[in-house]
């Protein structure tokens, strides 16, 4: 691979530490390894891959006696390219897609270089910790003033069980823990309600009334045509159970609503009678109650221990940090008869193939010779705004005062969700995600300064949690993904999966495309990984054919 | 306190280690501390209480750099007795109730001795690890042949958010993690079904048809009397969302059922059309789908990191191990004019007060002078059988093959539940709870030898998971709580909460009673703790009145 921007570091020389590297290798639990061991590990990883790196971690005492239970050795993948390829590949973007491409190609013998414009790898999987800086287009720079140990997953935040993301965690030895996506004790609050209620209360009331209405409709034989007597009996049995109905098939409330005083020595004081059917329907809590019904949101979900960036960090370590050039913005892509030429801020780089994983709307702006159809295709998907604010509190009032351990409060206020942390339970401090919103709401917050975002988020959250939501705040950081340099969006939507979407699955000459935006798993790391697997599979097939 | 069974160990002498102590202190994560540090800590705990112990742990390096995130210092309780008492109290039973009594009284200045018949503290919170022995009435003794790191919570297994158990975890610095009580990817299998389905599939079908039936009943105005036009519109909106109905309010299946191939680069292959309404009702999956609706089972739930016995262990350390005499079976209780006299295998012990926390059916058999009414009351609650089997597997096939990360498979087979571990995700091995059953099913298994229990459990589980359920087994241990010496039951049920239940809330002379069996939280550690708080509050009030 020719490159006039200067020689790559020799393999025996560990790359210098920089503030841009994810804090700590995955299995060390984040930030615990110390510089010397870190640098050594990175070097071992670059030279010997994940297996050698993890063996070295054991030797270095990063998996000591007291950590045995948490140390998870890397495991074999269910995916691998068959046969060895010797081509040089330049990967545009140190995103999850780009890192996965370089990782899988590297295992199959390819010589990969990853060009990343920002000073971090991981794309939209930013985890912010004490001292991390966050720039925005528009000029504002925030610095996380968190306590040591606090982190904020400002991008990707959860993983479903069936997603390939977990396979990479297993393969790379990134420890995972449960992410609580739905909590019966969290709140539901809509503008149709006088005051927030617990999710369990909203659910009990909706299910109770639905069960009663159907039980009575079924009982009055309105459904006779569809139901036999036996069916009706079974349905009634289910509805009694589903709605916690009385013997007369009426819903009058239930201990499922929750308690003023939970049972103990005494039988407890239940919350009491539910609002009327009409009030329950008017409250509009249906979205909140059904939010985990979808295949991508069903409980339980998962997260890496210590921060989502552990996955990107482990991939980068396995690729070899010396193969990844951060702070290197790509300025052009040219197909040549026998290769590709990529220009970047520091010079020009030639390779046999290129995989472009930048967001499509940014790729569309790059000078290239891939043709007008490719440009049109890249311009087709529409970027969507998305934003989050991390609110660090002096004490975990949601646990001690509200008895909410993880999970999400749903609201139709412009903050949309409040996430409580699924880790560090009972610690002294903790971080709540004060909004996670998209589209118009995210644009609204994104236009504000951080200070004004915080003020607005606190004003809204106070309607649910009261004054402590403001008074106990310790620090905060907000992100507007549409204002992130080199990304400029939360994700994209495709008007159709014909045309451009299909076109970009195929290479343009020697340039391949990959990213979550080229899948039906947009905005998920799993999408980026699946797309990467497709791209490297096709590239490898071509290389093997060319050399056979 | 006079005691002819020999002097208690001096405070400066750490009690000897014994196989019966829980393996490792709570914050050390279980089993990692080593004997020397352990012994020292136990001594520090005995002399200085929890605060001193945890300070010592820090000094000993048990909360090193890499563990910072997991180390949770003890925190102030929301419960404490006001004023100091100087009385001597003998506590019968090193159960959760007994340990909580001794802990709270100890904080208020009382001189407590705990007598425990078995060689372990914790009562029904047994956590079994490699090498642990388990005796049963009837003569069989099992020894856990688990790998290092595997554990089996053979008794208490989960904690709800609102339970006082979490307050003790916070106060004592016992780290907790999420317990997955309900998993959309786990299976549901009833004898009414041809083959198991995922919980998400059973739920989608039941909700889909219920929504359709009600939407159409509502649409045909059968419910006109109760619903205005606006109500009907809101109901229809909810039902569409709830059942994932088509525009014509018909349920034809949904991606919520799951996929043959999940979305990725392609849009995925959904599972296809649902069974008929009649087949869905006949399958009888209602129990499985509604199992976490109750206030005590709602998601998320929690467990101590490293094993449930961490709570009993932390309580015992805080009480002081020298105050707890294991292997000491009580043989009689006598109220005296100025105190109580408790006889036990090793002699006689006098104190000012006694708190009896043994199971009521065992207390009823003890010689005592508390009167016939007390005996009758103690005989009122009915012991219930309960059993579990721990199946340790060579590989975590439920994660790699079935994509089930934690949670519970529900079935009407006699095994009732299969629990997948909510910890150690992606480890090499792991332990599944192969049955957790009660009453008749537990009696059936309890009458078998361990070998026959295992054979039966594997035969049943194979119907759900196939041949690997048998072939991948590494080791197993089973427990039949009705056969546990000194316990003889899973829990009790009260025919009524009048009469005996009310009587035993009050002391019989100088003898108080405490235990989950005296609460509306039977079978929960929280019940034992709440009952203990009631007993010590009343005892303390009496002592303060007597001395004022």
d(CA B200, CA A472): 39
pLDDT at A6: 36
Cα end-to-end span (Å), chain B: 22
From first CA to last CA, the distance across chain A in angstroms is 22
Residues 157 to 176 of B: which have CB under 8 A from any A CB? 161-164, 166, 169-170, 175-176
Q: Which of B162, B170, B200 best tests the A interface by mutation, with the highest count of A CBs <10 A?
A: B162
Q: Which two tokens stand for residue B481?
A: 């709580």
How many C-beta atoms surround the C-beta of residue B132 within 10 A? 21
**Residue of B320, B335, B347, B305 lying closest to B99 (CA atoms):** B320
Q: Sorting pLDDT into bands at 50, 70 and 90, what band is B82?
A: confident
User: Residue B222: its chain A contacts at CB < 8 A?
Assistant: 217, 220, 222
Q: Which range, A288-297, B45-54, B61-70, is most confident? A: A288-297
pLDDT tens column, B133-161 = 999 999 899 999 999 999 999 999 999 99
A192 touches chain B (CB under 8 A): no
Chain A, 482 to 501: residues with Cβ < 8 Å from chain B are 497
Contacts of A27 in chain B (CB under 8 A): none
Say yes or no for a CB contact (<8 Å) between A300 and B407: yes
Residues of A in contact with B290 (CB under 8 A): 241-242
CA distance A85 to chain B (A): 24
Phi and psi, residue A147, nearest 5° = -70, 155
- CB-CB under 8 Å, A422 with B238: no
- Tokens 């270095």 belong to which residue? A60
Only one residue has tokens 């239970």, namely A69
Long-range contacts of B338-344 (CB under 8 A, 24+ apart): B339/B510, B340/B90, B340/B509, B340/B510, B340/B511, B342/B90, B342/B92, B342/B115, B344/B5, B344/B115
Query: Is A293's CB within 8 Å of B207's CB?
Result: yes
Subunit contact B520:A404, Cβ cutoff 8 A: no
Query: Are the C-beta atoms of residues B190 and B412 closer than 8 Å to each other?
Result: yes
Q: Which residues of A234-270 are buried (b: 16+ CB within 10 A; e: fewer)?
A: bbbebbbbbbbbeeebebebbbbbbbeebbbbeebeb
CA distance B294 to B442: 23
Q: Name the residue facing A231 among B231, B281, B428 (closest C-beta).
A: B281
Whole-number Å distance between alpha carbons of A155 and A528: 14
pLDDT digits (tens, 9 = 90+) for B466-514: 999 999 999 999 999 999 999 999 999 999 999 999 999 999 999 999 9
Q: Which residue from B342, B343, B370 is spatially nearest to B503, judged by alpha carbons?
A: B370
Cβ–Cβ under 8 Å, residues B342 and B330: yes
Task: Please check whether residue A265 touches B, CB under 8 A.
Answer: yes
Q: Alpha-carbon distance B458 to A81, whole Å? A: 38
**Selected residues 444-463 of chain A with any CB under 8 Å from a CB in chain B:** none
Residue pointed to by tokens 């907790």:
B176
Confidence of residue B201 (pLDDT cuts 50, 70, 90): very high
Option in A183, A265, A534 nearest B518 (CB): A265
Q: Which of residues 499-518 of A touch B (CB under 8 A)?
A: 505, 518
What confidence score (pLDDT) does residue B238 get?
Answer: 97
Q: Residue A183 in contact with residue A408, Cβ under 8 Å?
A: yes
Tell me whether residues B241 and A169 touch, CB distance under 8 A: no
B475 touches chain A (CB under 8 A): no
Where are the alpha helices (H) located in A284-366, listed in sequence order?
A: 286-289, 309-319, 360-363
| Backbone dihedral angles phi then psi of residue A479, each to the nearest 5 degrees | -130, 140
Distances in Å between the Cα of A109 and the Cα atoms of A81, A103, A105, B55, B307 are 10, 10, 6, 52, 44
Q: Which of B29, B183, B530 sits opposite A300 (nearest CB)?
A: B183
* CB neighbour class for A225 (10 Å; exposed up to 12, middle 13-18, buried from 19): exposed
- Identify which of A364, A262, A177 has the alpha carbon closest to the alpha carbon of residue B161: A262
A122: left (phi over 0), alpha (psi -120 to 50) or beta: left
- Listed by number, the residues of chain B in 71-100 with a beta carbon closer than 8 Å to a beta carbon of chain A are 72-73, 75
pLDDT by residue, tens only, chain A of 548 residues = 443 333 333 333 333 333 333 333 333 333 333 333 333 333 333 333 443 333 333 333 333 333 334 445 556 677 888 877 789 999 999 999 999 999 999 999 999 999 999 999 999 999 999 999 999 999 899 999 999 999 999 999 999 999 999 999 999 999 999 999 999 999 999 998 999 999 999 999 999 999 999 998 865 656 777 889 999 999 999 999 999 999 999 999 999 999 999 999 999 999 989 999 999 999 999 999 999 999 999 999 999 999 999 999 999 999 999 999 999 999 999 999 999 999 999 899 999 999 999 999 999 999 999 999 999 999 999 999 999 999 999 999 999 999 999 999 999 999 999 999 999 999 999 999 999 999 999 999 999 999 999 999 999 999 999 999 999 999 999 999 999 999 999 999 999 999 999 999 999 999 999 999 999 999 999 999 999 999 999 999 999 998 76
Q: Which of B217, B300, B406 sits opposite A407 (nearest CB)?
A: B300
| Cβ–Cβ below 8 Å for A148 and B68 | yes
Tell how far CA B259 is from the center of its chain. 34
Quote the minimal CA–CA distance from A449 to chain B in Å: 32
CA B416/CA B157 separation, integer angstroms: 16
Nearest-CB residue to A531 (from B66, B265, B290): B265
Cβ contact A294–B148 (<8 Å): no
Residue B281: its chain A contacts at CB < 8 A?
Answer: 231, 234-235, 238
Can the peptide bond before residue B469 be classed as cis, meaning omega within 30 degrees of 0?
Answer: no
Q: Using an 8 Å Cβ cutoff, are A299 and B422 in contact?
A: no
Comparing alpha-carbon positions, the chain B residue that sits nearest to A147 is: B69
Q: A509: how many CB neighbours lie within 10 A of its CB?
A: 19
Tell me whether residue B244 is exposed, middle or buried, using C-beta atoms within 10 angstroms of its C-beta: 0 to 12, 13 to 18, 19 or more: buried
CA-to-CA distance for A420 and A480, rounded, in angstroms?
Answer: 20
Cα B78 from chain centroid (whole Å): 22
Instruction: Find, in chain B, the residue whose alpha carbon is nearest to that of A220.
Output: B222
Chain B CB within 8 Å of residue A225 CB: no
* Model pTM score: 0.87
> For residues B32 and A154, what is the distance between their CA atoms, to the nearest angstrom?
34
Question: Alpha carbon B35 to chain centroid distance?
Answer: 28
Mutation to test the A interface, candidates B146, B161, B224, B276, most A Cβ within 10 Å: B161
Contacts of B422 in chain A (CB under 8 A): 178
Taking one residue from A and the other from B, the number of pairs with CB-CB distance under 8 angstroms is 288
Contacts 24+ apart (CB under 8 A), A395-398: A395/A428, A395/A429, A395/A472, A396/A425, A396/A426, A396/A427, A396/A428, A396/A429, A396/A430, A397/A465, A397/A468, A397/A472, A398/A430, A398/A432, A398/A465
A300 and B405: CB-CB below 8 Å?
Answer: yes
Reported as type and span, the H/E element at residue A92 is strand A88-92
Contact (Cβ atoms closer than 8 angstroms) between residue B34 and residue A64: no
- A234 with B148: Cβ contact below 8 A: no
Measured CA to CA, the distance from residue A253 to residue A355 in angstroms comes to 58
- Distance (Å, rounded) from C-alpha A212 to C-alpha A254? 13
* Whether the Cβ atoms of residue B508 and residue B340 lie closer than 8 Å to each other: no
Q: Is A262 on the interface with B (CB under 8 A)?
A: yes
Contact assessment for residue A173 and residue A26, using Cβ atoms and an 8 Å cutoff: yes
Q: 339-398 in A: which are within 8 Å (CB) of B?
A: none
Distance CA A139, CA A124 (A): 19
CB contact under 8 A, A210 and B207: no
Q: Do A242 and B210 touch (CB under 8 A)?
A: yes
Q: Do B265 and A315 form a contact (C-beta atoms < 8 A)?
A: no
Q: Is A245 on the interface with B (CB under 8 A)?
A: no
Would the ipTM clear 0.95, i.e. be above it? Answer: no
CA B50 to chain centre: 23
Q: Looking at beta carbons, which residues of chain B come within 8 Å of A204?
A: 293
B265/A504 Cα distance (integer angstroms): 12
CA–CA distance, A195 with B97 (Å, rounded to integer): 38
Strands B151-153 and B127-129: antiparallel
Test A223 with B204 for CB contact under 8 angstroms.
no
Q: Which tokens sit at B422?
A: 């909510």
Alpha helices in A356-488 (DSSP H): 360-363, 372-379, 397-400, 439-446, 450-465, 468-471
Q: Identify the closest residue of chain B to A211 by CA–CA distance.
A: B210
Q: Could B226 and A277 be called an inter-chain contact, meaning their C-beta atoms sit closer than 8 Å?
A: yes
- Residue B256 is nearest to which of A177, A227, A294, comparing CB atoms? A294
Cβ-defined contact of A29 to B178 (cutoff 8 Å): no
Residue A5 to residues A46, A91, A288, B158, B455, Cα–Cα distance (Å)? 21, 16, 53, 58, 67
Contacts of A487 (CB under 8 A, 6+ apart): A123, A124, A359, A362, A481
- Give tens-digit pLDDT for B222-261: 677 788 999 999 999 999 999 999 999 999 999 999 999 9
Q: Do the Cβ atoms of A299 and B183 come within 8 Å?
A: yes
- Is B275 an 8 Å CB contact of chain A? no
Given B166, B185, B284, which is nearest A161 (Cβ)?
Answer: B185
Indicate which of A405, A410, A519 best probes the interface with B, i.e. most B CBs within 10 Å of its own CB: A405
Shortest CA gap B139–chain A (Å)? 34
B519 contacts A263? CB cut-off 8 A? yes
Order across the sheet with B159-160: list the strands.
B159-160, B301-304, B176-179
């Amino acid at each position: 691979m020719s490159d006039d921007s200067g020689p790559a570091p020799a393999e025996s020389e560990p790359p210098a530490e920089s503030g841009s590297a994810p804090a700590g290798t995955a299995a060390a639990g984040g930030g615990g390894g110390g510089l010397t061991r870190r640098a050594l590990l990175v070097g071992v990883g670059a030279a010997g891959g994940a297996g050698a790196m993890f063996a070295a971690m054991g030797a270095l005492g990063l998996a000591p006696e007291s950590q045995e239970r948490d140390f998870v050795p890397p495991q074999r993948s269910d995916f691998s390219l068959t046969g060895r390829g010797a081509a040089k590949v330049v990967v545009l973007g140190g995103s999850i897609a780009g890192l996965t491409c370089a990782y899988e190609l590297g295992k199959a013998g390819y010589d990969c270089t990853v060009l990343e414009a920002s000073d971090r790898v991981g794309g939209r999987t930013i985890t912010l910790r004490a001292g991390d800086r966050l720039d925005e287009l528009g000029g504002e720079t925030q610095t996380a003033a968190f306590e040591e140990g606090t982190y904020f997953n400002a991008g990707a935040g959860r993983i479903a069980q069936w997603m390939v993301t977990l396979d990479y965690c297993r393969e790379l030895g990134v420890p995972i823990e449960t992410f609580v996506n739905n909590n019966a004790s969290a709140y539901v609050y809509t503008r149709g309600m006088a005051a927030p209620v617990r999710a369990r209360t909203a659910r009990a009331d909706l299910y109770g009334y639905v069960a009663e209405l159907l039980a009575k409709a079924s009982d009055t034989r309105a459904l006779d045509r569809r139901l036999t007597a036996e069916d009706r009996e079974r349905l009634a049995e289910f509805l009694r159970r589903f709605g916690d109905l009385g013997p007369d098939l009426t819903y009058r409330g239930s201990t499922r609503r929750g308690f003023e005083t939970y049972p103990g020595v005494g039988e407890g004081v239940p919350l009491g009678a539910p609002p009327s059917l009409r009030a329950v329907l008017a409250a509009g809590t249906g979205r909140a109650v059904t939010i985990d019904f979808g295949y991508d949101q069903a409980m339980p979900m998962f997260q890496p221990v210590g921060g989502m960036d552990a996955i990107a960090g482990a991939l980068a370590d396995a690729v070899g940090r010396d193969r990844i050039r951060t702070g290197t913005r790509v300025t052009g892509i040219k197909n040549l008869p026998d290769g590709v030429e990529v220009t970047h801020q520091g010079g020009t780089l030639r390779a046999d193939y290129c995989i472009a994983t930048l967001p499509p709307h940014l790729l569309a702006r790059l000078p290239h010779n891939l043709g007008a159809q490719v440009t049109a295709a890249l311009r087709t998907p529409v970027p969507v705004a998305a934003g989050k604010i991390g609110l660090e509190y002096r004490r975990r009032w949601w646990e001690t005062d509200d008895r909410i351990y993880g999970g999400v409060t749903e609201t139709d206020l412009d903050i949309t969700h409040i996430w409580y942390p699924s880790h560090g339970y009972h610690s002294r401090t903790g971080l709540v995600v004060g909004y996670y919103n998209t589209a118009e709401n995210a644009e609204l917050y994104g236009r504000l300064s951080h200070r004004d975002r915080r003020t607005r988020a606190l004003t809204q959250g106070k309607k649910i949690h009261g004054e402590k939501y403001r008074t106990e705040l310790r620090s905060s950081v907000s992100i507007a993904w549409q204002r992130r340099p080199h990304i400029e969006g939360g994700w994209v939507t495709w008007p159709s999966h014909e045309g451009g979407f299909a076109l970009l699955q195929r290479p343009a000459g020697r340039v391949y495309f990959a990213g979550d935006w080229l899948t039906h798993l947009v905005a998920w790391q799993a999408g980026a990984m699946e797309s990467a697997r497709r791209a490297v599979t096709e590239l490898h097939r071509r290389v093997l054919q060319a050399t056979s």
